[in-house]
Chain A
Amino acid sequence: MGPSQWRQVLLTCAIQDGSAHGRVSESLLRRFGRGIAGCPPERRGAARMLRASLREISAALREGQLSPTELCQSCLSFIKATKFLNAYITIAEDTALKQAEESEERYRRGQILGDLDGIPVAVKDNFSTAGIETTCASNMLKGYIPPYNATVVQKLLDQGAVLLGKTNLDEFAMGSGSTDGIFGPVRNPWSYSRQYREKCAQKAQTENEDSNWLITGGSSGGSAAAVSSFTCFAALGSDTGGSTRNPAAHCGVVGLKPTYGLISRHGLIPLVNSMDVPGILTRCVDDAAIILGVLAGHDPKDSTTVQDPFKPFELPSCMDASSLCVGVPKEYHAPGLSSETLALWSKAADLFENAGAKVIEVSLLHTQYSIICYHVLCTAEVASNMARFDGLEYGHRASGGESTEAMYAATRREGFNDVVRGRILAGNYFLLKQNYEKYFIKAQKVRRLIANDFVNVFSGGVDVLLTPTTLSDTIQYVEFIKEDNRTRSAQDDIFTQAANMAGLPAVSVPTALSEKGLPIGLQFIGRAFQEQQLLTVAKWFEKQVKFPVIELQGMMNHGHTGCHHQKSAFFS
């Protein structure tokens, strides 16, 4: 599907949704005005409203300028309109509308549950959602409807959030492209942005429009695409080696990986238990802080969450950079780092320095081993975690089979893709008695060294580390699949993985557009449990760089630029 089809879809959608939309538009227009030229009038309000921040939309709901039901319907329509992005696996239309109605009732009675009441969110399809299919993009769990909610999902619902649906991913979150799930790859909304399309046109590319779309990165590509394309206000991802930050960087959104142990993993279908963290994808840093405030805290159902009470915080709008020490790890000048990203990274360092911060070069000597080390630890835990999928209690079960063992084998062959099976095989190899010392124990020791590097740097006075999130901007799907999943994962997690090894909080902040008109993100890594400091820095940085908003509606009216930030103030 190309840009012309995208336009078509949006227009059709506006017509199809008929009466409901008329109603939505009226209230929205009151709040958001009629300022977007080129949009069909009935879409203008919705388009702008859906771009609002959490705080803005929450205020609009409180003030009664629109109702949760209107908002929910609007999002659902937009999800359908952007279906070709393949961001969602399941759209929970009925339950979402029901939740929105309940929220509406609470607003009517003035008894709202919290800041998120009535706000549409999306959740990666590897979090258990009671009554809503949870597939992990795998045949193994196709049709599996969990009987319980993941703690993070429950916390969102307890705040009144409206769960729109479950977002696409690589099968069992194993990948860095969101290309390797049974429901097909996720398309990066930036593929259809004015910013990218114009650059493509300049280069006079004659490629088939339908083949030059871009990947989102992964594995939380569906969540990143959903947030980036304005179909929801926040989304949950998961982050084991960079699975939240990587697609966030490629899709131009904020991706936060909190400290390991700060947020419950209960209900998150695991990839690597010792590194998995629920991730937060939002369109700005403030929104990430709000969601973090809702999700963080001890969960008796997850023994690895810390007992210390978590106090939600609001980020200050200004920051005294002079008291800040930013570390720039020299080892992150990795082979393959694009010159654009490198330039941006060094510019960002200058930005801090110019603002009075102390910027120092630091060494994280062992980070270079994190990918290979991760390969051993990840596959070992995968081999173990996947052992439960035997077709007996839930999920896919192969028919026939002469014995239990034959049934297991057929079930697992049919249920898992090659990537998952490959990791299971490798992991079991590393865990064999004769290999355990040589691989698993060694990898654990290296992990300790990687973590110690961070400890040393932070105890040396560094407050946050500044690094690239990815080697470069995103690439076309046809390019991406020229290498296999393992190669891609090794390349793509290179800057993000070490934070998972060390359990540290890290956030990717969209920084600027590349020459191709595509987002580039930079990453901040903070001290354990110092999310407030990390996000304060990230917010300050966000404010400086003025990352441009994706111009999707521009597609409907070529040549028109109807949004706030026409250019990146930072990169110009």
Chain B
Amino acid sequence: MAASIVRRSLLARHGPARRVAGLHSGPRRRRVQAPGAAGEQGDAPWVAVVGLEIHAQISSDSKLFSGSKVQFAASPNSLVSFFDASLPGTLPVLNRRCVEAAVMTGLALNCSINKKSLFDRKHYFYADLPAGYQITQQRLPVAVNGSLSYSFHAGGQKNQMVTRTVRIKQIQLEQDSGKSLHDDTRGQTLIDLNRAGVGLIEVVMEPDMSSGEEAAAAVRELQLILQTLGSSQAIMAEGQLRVDANVSVHHPGEAYGTRTEVKNINSARFLARAIDYEIKRQIKELENGGTIVNETRTFDYKLGCTLPMRDKEGKQDYRFMPEPNLPPLILYDNKSLPANVNHSQVVNIDWIRERLPDLPSVKRAKLVEQYGILPEHCLTLLNEDGLMQFFENVMKQTEMNPKKVIGWILIDTLGYLNQHRLTVKESPVSSFFLAELLNLLERREISSSAAQQVFRELWKGEGKTPLQIVKEKRLEVIQDQQELEAICQAVMEGHQKELYSQAAQERREQSIKAYVLFCMSPALVFSNNR
């Protein structure tokens, strides 16, 4: 049958995919012109430097140093052990699961794992920090010197995928703080210690980035890695992944500018906006002859700007000190593992390495190889929570070419989901239904436009199968020659005037084929039945 009724391929819609040069740029510092800042005064352009510190709550049953349960949105102060409330005389006991999660994360981020790491106390007074200090790993963290490669669609161009690498300075284990809830009407502050002592993995990135877009992409990739490993659920909205960004600007060739820290950004979207705002603010400030103060700022997502944090004013001296109640954390590998050791008492790096799941980058490469789809498609497939699984489920149930399927996934399904602000999980069109629909299309039992119509029907979520919808709406392609002829006859008879008009006469020869095809769709026939 005619090729023209087949859905336009994805490539046709978007033009040929271009592979972007420098797909694997090395870890060296790249200096990218800051957004919208190109030599506004005719001087050298500004260069922005962005570094991230990311706190990921470890997904574990209990807290880092106590047996209290870890649970989101439990009733206030219901998950607090004596240690969490810093009762005098209580001591920390390291949670093995948290160590494993940190080692796993370190390995996934190409870090070298320190066989010996240490815990330190970081002191500051805050109402939701009961002990007056946080136990962290300042001097000798569990993992150092890693890297994270991430890709993104440069400038929002769907077909321009850029891949970059950011160096990981260190990964450390530390305690989360509690939460302060300010009751302004009664002038009270309420403390919830449920979160106090929950294990965190802090990932410190070198300042290798230069824009909000890059930072957001790096965070997204890290989030995927953490979720793949299961070391953190990394849901930003639930505060399981929190990002602090260090931002500064300078002219190329000159020393780095004074940096500010934008704290507690809890969505990827706000992260990019906060960083880009801060870059612009600093440039504007400097160009107006001002100076940048080394300060902590917060992002006001309603106003879309960063503001100085009042309660963090003044430089803190954290008075770091070794945590005397925890011996050094010793990790082993197959070589160093002592004989007759209690396995529940040790963490073996090699054992963890052997059991690492496929990381997102590997998964994407496998998708490219297995399905012949483009890397940028894979990027989106993985970046959208559950979309890859959805795609693979569809693939299992359909004979359609993956290159065609990917269009239905990325354009139609994802488009609909985004339009209705739904997650993949919430999709009213299941992978099973979509596969059935695509099979109908692939077997040419329905036309492309009919398929679109069925898809729209499916979206209503009425539970009808694609086949039911096709039957009900009589959308099947008519394969029977006689029936087709009859329809054509009927259409022609109903449109005698048009058929025999002068203009039609002239076009008849060229369009007869198209006309037949037009007639093949009963829906059109009936809708045009005048």
CB distance from A183 to the nearest CB of B (A): 18
- Interface check B325, CB cutoff 8 A: yes
Contact B325 A273 (CB under 8 A): yes
**A440 — which chain B residues lie within 8 A by C-beta?**
321
Contact B88 A128 (CB under 8 A): yes
Task: Kindly identify which residue among A266, A387, A428 contacts B90, using a CB–CB cutoff of 8 Å.
Answer: A266
CB distance from A305 to the nearest CB of B (A): 10
Q: Please choose the segment from B120-128, B217-225, B384-392 that sits at the chain A interface, where 4 or more of its residues have CB less than 8 A away.
A: B120-128
Contact B87 A431 (CB under 8 A): no
- Interface check A392, CB cutoff 8 A: yes
**B327 — which chain A residues lie within 8 A by C-beta?**
303-304
Contact B125 A405 (CB under 8 A): yes
CB distance from B343 to the nearest CB of A (A): 14
Question: Considering the complex, which residues of chain A in the window 260-286 have a beta carbon less than 8 Å from any beta carbon of chain B?
Answer: 265-270, 272-274
CB distance from B130 to the nearest CB of A (A): 5
Interface centre among A127, A272, A304, A307 (most CB of B within 10 A): A304
Task: Kindly identify which residue among B94, B123, B326 contacts A384, using a CB–CB cutoff of 8 Å.
Answer: B123
Write the chain B residue with the least CB distance to A409. B125
- Interface check A84, CB cutoff 8 A: no
CA distance A268 to B90 in the complex (A): 8
Q: Please choose the segment from A45-53, A140-148, A198-206 that sits at the chain B interface, where 4 or more of its residues have CB less than 8 A away.
A: A140-148
Contact A303 B94 (CB under 8 A): yes
Contact A388 B132 (CB under 8 A): yes
Write the chain A residue with the least CB distance to B94. A303
CA distance A141 to B89 in the complex (A): 13
- Interface check A394, CB cutoff 8 A: yes
**A389 — which chain B residues lie within 8 A by C-beta?**
88
Contact B125 A390 (CB under 8 A): yes
Contact B91 A390 (CB under 8 A): no
Contact B89 A267 (CB under 8 A): yes
Interface centre among A150, A303, A304, A384 (most CB of B within 10 A): A384
- Interface check A404, CB cutoff 8 A: yes
Interface centre among B127, B132, B191, B320 (most CB of A within 10 A): B132
- Interface check A170, CB cutoff 8 A: no
Write the chain A residue with the least CB distance to B121. A384
- Interface check B86, CB cutoff 8 A: yes
CA distance A265 to B325 in the complex (A): 9
B-side interface size class: 20 to 34
Q: Could you show 13 A-B contacts with beta carbons less than 8 Å apart?
A: A146-B87, A265-B325, A266-B89, A273-B324, A274-B324, A301-B91, A304-B91, A304-B327, A387-B132, A387-B133, A394-B87, A433-B317, A440-B321
Contact B131 A387 (CB under 8 A): yes
- Interface check B74, CB cutoff 8 A: no
Contact with B along A387-409 (1 / 0, CB 8 A): 11110111000000000110010
User: Which residues of B does A touch, CB under 8 Å?
Assistant: 82, 85-94, 121, 123, 125, 127, 130-133, 189, 191, 317, 319-321, 324-327, 345
Contact A384 B321 (CB under 8 A): yes
Contact B321 A141 (CB under 8 A): no
| 4 closest residue pairs by CB, A with B | A387-B132, A431-B319, A273-B324, A274-B324
Give 9 new A-B contacts, CB below 8 A, not counting A393-B85, A394-B85.
A272-B324, A303-B92, A303-B93, A304-B325, A384-B132, A387-B131, A392-B127, A428-B319, A432-B319
**B191 — which chain A residues lie within 8 A by C-beta?**
392
Contact B93 A127 (CB under 8 A): no
Contact A303 B189 (CB under 8 A): no
- Interface check A369, CB cutoff 8 A: no
Contact A390 B132 (CB under 8 A): yes
Contact A303 B325 (CB under 8 A): yes
Write the chain A residue with the least CB distance to B180. A404
CA distance A433 to B317 in the complex (A): 7
Contact A388 B89 (CB under 8 A): no
**Contacts A265-B91, A384-B133: A431 and B125 contacting too (C-beta < 8 A)?**
no
**B324 — which chain A residues lie within 8 A by C-beta?**
272-274, 304, 381
Contact B320 A301 (CB under 8 A): no
CB distance from B334 to the nearest CB of A (A): 22
- Interface check A310, CB cutoff 8 A: no
CB distance from A403 to the nearest CB of B (A): 10
Write the chain B residue with the least CB distance to A432. B317
Contact A269 B125 (CB under 8 A): no
- Interface check A56, CB cutoff 8 A: no
User: Which residues of A does B touch, CB under 8 Å?
Assistant: 127-128, 134, 136, 141, 144, 146-148, 150, 265-270, 272-274, 300-304, 307, 380-381, 383-384, 386-390, 392-394, 404-405, 408, 428, 431-433, 436, 440
**A136 — which chain B residues lie within 8 A by C-beta?**
88
CB distance from A236 to the nearest CB of B (A): 13
Contact B87 A404 (CB under 8 A): no
**B123 — which chain A residues lie within 8 A by C-beta?**
383-384, 387, 431
Contact B321 A266 (CB under 8 A): no
**A433 — which chain B residues lie within 8 A by C-beta?**
317, 319
Write the chain A residue with the least CB distance to B65. A303
Contact A388 B319 (CB under 8 A): no
**Contacts A384-B123, A384-B321: A147 and B89 contacting too (C-beta < 8 A)?**
no
CA distance A303 to B321 in the complex (A): 18
**A273 — which chain B residues lie within 8 A by C-beta?**
324-325
Contact A148 B82 (CB under 8 A): yes
Contact A146 B89 (CB under 8 A): yes
Task: Kindly identify which residue among A270, A301, A303, A383 contacts B326, using a CB–CB cutoff of 8 Å.
Answer: A303
Contact B91 A388 (CB under 8 A): no
Contact B89 A268 (CB under 8 A): yes
**Contacts A274-B324, A304-B327, A384-B123: A141 and B93 contacting too (C-beta < 8 A)?**
no
CA distance A302 to B83 in the complex (A): 12
CB distance from B290 to the nearest CB of A (A): 28
Write the chain B residue with the least CB distance to A395. B88
Task: Kindly identify which residue among B82, B89, B132, B345 contacts A269, using a CB–CB cutoff of 8 Å.
Answer: B89
CA distance A383 to B133 in the complex (A): 11
Contact A408 B125 (CB under 8 A): yes
Interface centre among A272, A389, A431 (most CB of B within 10 A): A431
CA distance A69 to B413 in the complex (A): 80
Task: Kindly identify which residue among A270, A408, A436 contacts B320, using a CB–CB cutoff of 8 Å.
Answer: A436
CB distance from B339 to the nearest CB of A (A): 15
CA distance A141 to B92 in the complex (A): 21
Contact B189 A388 (CB under 8 A): no
CA distance A404 to B311 in the complex (A): 11
Contact A388 B130 (CB under 8 A): yes
Task: Kindly identify which residue among A141, A381, A393, A428 contacts B130, using a CB–CB cutoff of 8 Å.
Answer: A393
Interface centre among A148, A269, A389, A390 (most CB of B within 10 A): A390
CB distance from A442 to the nearest CB of B (A): 14
Task: Kindly identify which residue among A269, A300, A392, A393 contacts B93, using a CB–CB cutoff of 8 Å.
Answer: A300
CA distance A440 to B317 in the complex (A): 15
CB distance from A270 to the nearest CB of B (A): 7
CA distance A428 to B125 in the complex (A): 13
Task: Kindly identify which residue among B87, B125, B189 contacts A148, using a CB–CB cutoff of 8 Å.
Answer: B87
**A431 — which chain B residues lie within 8 A by C-beta?**
123, 319-321
CA distance A431 to B322 in the complex (A): 11
Contact B130 A301 (CB under 8 A): no
**A134 — which chain B residues lie within 8 A by C-beta?**
88
CB distance from B288 to the nearest CB of A (A): 33
CA distance A52 to B94 in the complex (A): 44
Contact B91 A303 (CB under 8 A): yes
